[in-house]
Amino acid sequence: MHVSDDKQDRLIAKLNRLWKDSQDQALMAKTLRALDERYDLARKMRKEPGVEEIITQMAGRLADSYASLSETRGRKILDIACGSNTSKAPALVHINTPFGRKVSGRSSSGYSALFEPWFCRMLLELEADPVGVDFGDLEAERFAHYQVDLGKAGALDFLPGHSFDAIQDSRLFGSPEFTAQFPNQSERLKVAQEIVRQEQRLLIPGGVIIHSDAHDLLT
């Protein structure tokens, strides 16, 4: 078991400000400690400061979408372009968090822990039912996942309609692999339109869009 880490403890204290209820605070603390135990979160935060900001961003989105963290329990949540264990970060990553906007640079190897599937991992620890789709490697992950080329029209047609309580997409349009595949803005807008169409098709009535880069790109 990992020993207590000052950086992790400071992150727990910071994220506790997102929730007033002590049960939510305890649940987030438990989740972060589980992420450290399973995925070496504290070491990765020390190596790449942007990882902490990614975790903060994802926690902030949950706080914006649910009055209580316990509301995520059992919810089927789709993360489109969830990240993977082979994803590379762009030269600069702009990260909006509840505590301000941050910028992170690429690691020297090109590979970055920034684009690991942190949101799905977090949801799994919160006892939600996450489903991740990405083109990269997710074979070792414990949540349900599919390898999908999101640049293809109809790529998500295999998922049944109105089957998700909540949906997020937040990583596709800034990834180096995607921008290399679709260098023209007009091409990226077509992909964004397809993703928004799929989000509308897949979400249950009254479901939650946690965050949608595709929607933001079109507005």
Give the CATH number for residue 89. 3.40.50
The answer to pTM > 0.75 is: yes
* Secondary structure (3-state) at 154: coil
Characterize the bridge pairing of strands 164-169 and 203-212.
Answer: parallel
End-to-end CA distance of the chain: 46
- Provide block-wise average pLDDT over 10 residues at a time, the chain (219 residues): 71 94 96 96 91 95 96 98 83 56 53 92 98 94 96 96 97 84 92 97 98 95
Q: What is the pLDDT of residue 30?
A: 96
Give the total number of structural domains in the chain: 1
pLDDT value at position 165? Answer: 98
SS3 212: strand
Confirm whether 1 is domain-assigned.
no
**Which structure tokens are listed for 214?**
């595709």
Domain assignment of residue 164, given as a range: 6-218
- According to DSSP, the residues that pair with 102 across neighbouring strands are 95
